[in-house]
């Protein structure tokens, strides 16, 4: 071996170990090396009678706010793309005015070729869809992410929801944020029209949840940290379905408030669950409650085993496979949970083996 080259393999091993520890290598593998799935073209969904005529362009950064245009944000990456496509399909399928819906897709910006590929997937699958694809700079959160109970929760794109107000044009006042593992089985306009009042964010709340489970003993033993919830009727809410007033968000500097708790987490390890706890710390107790029907969450089981679960009692407008188990993976492994059959008809993946909502696509 040439002089001076002996320590190099050890240095490389140490570097790789550090990258794996931060999730960086896994992120690059998931987002860059995985081949994108191919999808069949969805049918063209047209507006029903009574739908107002609207037009929106991503080129007009300061367009006048039009409440009849529904804006929905979702992330796009190779790992969850099949879920994202099914989610978009479900929204369009049940909307009264599907042509008045604008999708705002967010993808990691580390590879321009991958972004181009994702854009092609959307245009070829939904040729009539109005959408815009934004580049999310993963470096914004790389130094702020702490490892959690599931590696998927540690990916930078999982934190993009914190930066919606920075990514989207100023003319977009309100946004619905959807995770990539859900389907909508109702007209999304009903969710869009909720009255946020003075509040920044609306979501289904679950006040019976044990709040102590979302933070470590170190958090609760610190009088300063625990005092954050003093005087607040803090309830759990799932961040996979949110209605957000982006103007109020910018005015209140909520991105910076969330980033503050991410930095505290890096120093003190006060929680275990990805991007959720910062939202609870900033918003819990000041969320506009939405009917539970708009987030039947937890269908993916817990974050460790992902076992099958039943629906919560009550009506259903949205099914959400939060947790470890994803319906497309369980269907492909031929070990589906009973409720995965409700997701299957929205799957446009070309190689699927189950029946679609439309036999001619």
Q: What is the 3-state secondary structure (H, E, C) of 203-245?
A: ECEECCCCHHHHCCHHHHHCHHHHHHHCCCCCCEECCCEEEEE
Helices (H), ranges, the chain: 8-22, 24-28, 81-94, 112-125, 139-142, 164-167, 189-192, 217-221, 223-226, 246-252, 254-268, 276-283, 327-332, 340-343
pLDDT digits (tens, 9 = 90+) for 186-232: 999 999 999 999 999 999 999 888 888 889 999 999 999 999 999 88
Token pair, residue 218, equals 């170190």
Tell me the residue range of the domain where 195 lies.
64-293
Residues 6+ apart with CB under 8 A from 15: none
Number of domains in the chain: 1
- Residue 271 falls inside a structural domain: yes
Q: Which of 268, 253, 30, 328 is nearest to 158 (CA)?
A: 30
Provide the CATH number for the domain around residue 78. 3.90.550.10
- Residue 24 falls inside a structural domain: no
CA gap 255, 275 in Å, rounded: 12
Residues of the chain with pLDDT under 70: 1-34, 58-63, 110-113, 147-154, 303, 352-361
Q: Quick one: pLDDT at residue 19? A: 45
213 near 188, Cβ under 8 Å?
no
| 3-class DSSP assignment, residue 60 | coil
CA gap 178, 78 in Å, rounded: 17
Q: Which of 148, 152, 84 is nearest to 325 (CA)?
A: 152
Whole-Å CA distances, 148 to 156, 193, 200, 277: 13, 35, 27, 11
Q: Which of 250, 249, 262 is nearest to 153 (CA)?
A: 262
Q: Quick one: pLDDT at residue 101? A: 97
Residues 6+ apart with CB under 8 A from 55: none
CA gap 164, 246 in Å, rounded: 8
Whole-Å CA distances, 195 to 173, 182, 185, 192, 289: 14, 23, 21, 9, 10
- Residue 321 falls inside a structural domain: no
Q: Quick one: pLDDT at residue 359? A: 41
Angle in degrees, 0-180, between the axes of helices 112-125 and 81-94, rounded to the nearest 10: 30
CA gap 257, 162 in Å, rounded: 10
- Residue 315 falls inside a structural domain: no
- Residue 5 falls inside a structural domain: no
CA gap 303, 323 in Å, rounded: 5
Query: In a 10 Å sphere around its CB, with 0-12 CB exposed, 13-18 middle and 19+ buried, how is residue 230 labelled?
Result: exposed
**pTM listed for this prediction:** 0.87
| 3-class DSSP assignment, residue 198 | coil
- Residue 86 falls inside a structural domain: yes
- Residue 51 falls inside a structural domain: no
- Residue 108 falls inside a structural domain: yes
């Amino acid at each position: 071996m040439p002089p001076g080259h002996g320590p190099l393999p050890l240095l490389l091993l140490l570097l790789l170990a550090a990258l794996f520890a931060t999730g960086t290598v896994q992120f690059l593998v998931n987002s860059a090396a995985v081949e994108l799935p191919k999808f069949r073209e969805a049918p063209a969904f047209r507006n029903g009678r009574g739908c107002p005529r609207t037009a929106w362009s991503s080129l007009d950064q300061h367009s006048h706010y039009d409440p009849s245009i529904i804006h929905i944000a979702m992330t796009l990456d190779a790992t969850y793309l099949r879920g994202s496509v099914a989610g978009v399909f479900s929204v369009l399928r049940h909307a009264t005015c599907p042509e008045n819906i604008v999708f705002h897709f967010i993808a990691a910006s580390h590879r321009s070729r991958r972004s181009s590929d994702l854009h092609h997937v959307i245009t070829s699958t939904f040729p009539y869809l109005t959408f815009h694809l934004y580049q999310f700079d993963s470096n914004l959160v790389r130094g702020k992410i702490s490892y959690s109970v599931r590696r998927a929760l540690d990916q930078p794109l999982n934190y993009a929801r914190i930066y919606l107000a920075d990514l989207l044009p100023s003319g977009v006042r309100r946004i619905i944020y959807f995770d990539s593992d859900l389907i909508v089985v109702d007209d999304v306009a009903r969710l869009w029209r909720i009255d946020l009042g003075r509040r920044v964010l609306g979501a289904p709340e679950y006040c019976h949840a044990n709040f102590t489970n979302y933070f470590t003993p170190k958090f609760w033993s610190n009088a300063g940290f625990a005092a954050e919830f003093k005087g607040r009727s803090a309830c759990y809410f799932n961040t996979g379905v949110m209605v957000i007033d982006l103007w109020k968000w910018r005015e209140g500097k909520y991105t910076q408030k969330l980033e503050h708790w991410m930095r505290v987490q890096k120093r003190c390890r006060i929680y275990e669950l990805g991007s959720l706890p910062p939202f609870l710390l900033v918003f819990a107790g000041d969320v506009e409650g939405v009917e539970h029907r708009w987030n039947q969450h937890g269908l993916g089981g817990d974050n460790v085993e992902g076992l099958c679960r039943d629906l919560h009692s009550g009506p259903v407008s949205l099914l959400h496979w939060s947790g470890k188990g994803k319906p497309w993976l369980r269907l492909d492994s031929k070990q589906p949970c009973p409720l995965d059959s409700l997701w299957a008809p929205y799957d446009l993946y070309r190689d699927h083996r189950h029946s679609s909502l439309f036999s001619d696509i």
